[in-house]
Structure 1
Amino acid sequence: VVINMSLVGQEEFHSLYPYMLSVFEAGYSMGRLMTLFSPGEQIGDIVVPSGMFGVGTVCSITLNGVLNAHGIPVFSRFGGLLEYRDWKPARFTAIINYDGTTLDPLEIFIKSGMTDYRGAVGSGNGQIGAGFREMPSSSRDKVLELAAELESIGLGGFLEVGYPGQDLREIPINEGRIGAIVIGGLNPMAILEEHGIKVSSRALSALIDYERLFPYTELTKRLR
């Protein structure tokens, strides 16, 4: 499983991690699983510094890998800010094409202070990170089947799957394709930035075994 890695001070995390859990609970996260690394542990080329935790969240690129493994080609178009109104996705308010940046678009939106997870979690009105994918229209039934299987093992990340050739949340779709909106993997950590905690996040940080992940509901117990 591909994860995003975020480094955060232990004291700050202990006091404010419930905000992160609220993003999971609201369904604005890439699945229900996460992982935690202690000081000195190395993940990819990142070593967790003293006094910090390494928090791993599932990267949405994992979905691409699953679809590709089942013979479904995936085109990642852009990452953006998805506006929510009354707990329902409405439209993208900002987008950055993946081929136009070397950084993950969500990292840019988070550091620019453009997200509104507090509003999305508190009132159902806010802006969260999401990605946009396109697949062949003939694959729609299989995509929905795989999405359900991923959801059952805690890796659900498909927010919406559109119909052949039809716009999805005001985004035009090319002929012969379907659009899909996937939830941003860094979403749970982004709300900590909104609460003034300095978080150093990097998307696509490492590949870890599925067994290293645990349900977000276990985090409180693991921090004791």
Structure 2
Amino acid sequence: MFEIDEYPETVIEIFRILYFSGKLQTTGELRSALKRRSVDVEARTIRYHLTNLEKNGLVRRYGNRGVMLTAEGVEEAKTLLVFDRVGGLAMETERLSLDCDYDPRTGKGSIMVNTILVDRRKTAEAIEILSGVSESRVILSSRLAVLHAGERMWNCEVPEGKNALIGVSGRNYDIMLQQARIPTETSATFLYRIEGGRPRGIADIISHSGTTLSPGELLIRGKYTSVSGVVATGCGLVTAAIKTFPSVFFDEVKSILENLDESLFSGLVEVRAQIPQSYRVSYKDRNRGYMLVYGGANFFAPLVEQDIAEHLSISHSIYRSERMLPVKEAAASFPG
């Protein structure tokens, strides 16, 4: 494995192109992309670097179709490009947002999704747990898709012996409003206390500035949530987020939200034309409306809380919404 400070500039740029595209890249495509970054090298130089990266297990060749980062290559790229990825919205998430084309009028198109890995032998058990979670009011959606070993989505290839479960991300609210030319921002994610099946208040809050990981991902991975308790007793901690927009767009926002497919987007707690004083993160929030929505990954949180699954990734990729089934239908494909 190369030391990070020993990578030539060309190799660093190859990592950047492969990581943020998340797609197969031929030598010709890499050369064109490098030129756009003012790195003008011959095709043979690119092939030389790719050969070295392949020897170190960081890229995989797919014949004439091109190369992609391996799992080890993705981790290396994330370390190498960490300061490219920091900010209110990680660059990879921003890039994926551009490829989302879901149309609320037809109910079809690509949406942002969360993923979680589960052992193949535990998949039926995991989906059975999710069937129970689907009855809860603290989730965004109970739609589910499953990828099997060897299948790939963006920079993730499902490892042997695993399945990847795919759920709906709360990031889609931002994307749909931005596609309607409404400037929207997720300002903070928090732990929301639920008592008697009803919201009680905010327990802890994480600002979205200065992070490369989704705050919701951190909270669930760290087992700060207790969605399992909410499902069983109506009490516990779940994730939720504050999404803000200029107050003048309130009517447009409300109209969009009222016309969404509830099987995909049912996590709205409230929407108002003015952020209450208690929810204002900064002075800029004075003239902004807001949505308070449950985190999309609450759906998967019980699998982490009960040590059934691992490697939760929020807003990790995009997937066709019409290929996602209600979890109870998906459960029929995995008999216990």
Separation (CA, whole Å) in 1 of partners of 2:314 and 2:195: 27
Question: Is contact 2:143–2:263 with CA below 8 Å preserved after alignment?
Answer: no
Correspondence for 1:34 among 144, 151, 173: 144
**Cα distance 1:112–1:26, how it changes in 2: closer, same or farther (>3 A)?**
same
In structure 2, distance between residues paired with 1:138 and 1:181: 18
Pairwise CA RMSD: 1.8
2:279 maps to 171
Which ranges in structure 2 are unaligned for 5 or more consecutive residues?
Answer: 1-110
Select which of 195, 208, 214 maps to 2:306.
195
1:73 aligns with 2:179: no
C-alpha spacing 1:198/1:16, structure 2 compared with 1 (3 Å): closer
> Which 4+ residue blocks in structure 1 deviate beyond 6 angstroms?
none
Q: Counterpart of 1:119 in structure 2: which amino acid?
A: G
**Alignment deviations for residues 144-175 of structure 1 (CA, whole Å, 9 cap, x no partner):** 221122234522332211342434xx423722
Structure 2 partner of 1:57: 167
Alignment of structure 1 residues 1-224 onto 2, 5 Å: 1-152=111-262, 154-167=264-277, 170-172=278-280, 174-224=285-335
CA contact (8 A) 2:123 2:334 kept: no
- Structure number with the higher helix fraction is 2
SS of 1:222's equivalent in the other structure is coil
Deviation at residue 84 of structure 1 after TM alignment: 0.8
Q: Distance in 2 between matches of 1:196 and 1:42?
A: 24
| C-alpha distance in 2 between matches for 1:166 and 1:129 | 19
Q: Secondary structure in 1 aligned to 2:330?
A: helix
CA deviations on 1:63-105 (whole Å, 9 max, x unpaired) are 1110111121112101111111111112111111111311011
Kept in 2, the 8 Å contact 1:63–1:157? The answer is no
Q: State TM-score, norm by structure 1.
A: 0.91
> How many pairs align?
222
Matched residue type, 1:118: S
What amino acid is aligned across from residue 222 of structure 1 in structure 2? S
1:120-146 Cα offsets, whole Å, 9 max, x none, are: 111211111111111111222222221
Shift of 1:119: 1.7
1:171-216: CA deviation from partner (whole Å, max 9, x where unpaired)? 2372221121122121111101111224111112111222221222
Equivalent-residue separation in structure 2 for 1:126 and 1:151 (angstroms): 27
Shift of 1:110: 1.5
SS of the residue corresponding to residue 100 of structure 1 reads: coil
1:151–1:157 CA contact under 8 A, matched in 2: no
Pick the structure with more strand per residue: 1
* Structure 1: unaligned runs, 5 residues or longer: none
Taking structure 2 as the reference length, what is the TM-score of the superposition? 0.62
- Percent identity of paired positions between Structure 1 and Structure 2: 23
Distance 1:107 1:165 in 2: 25
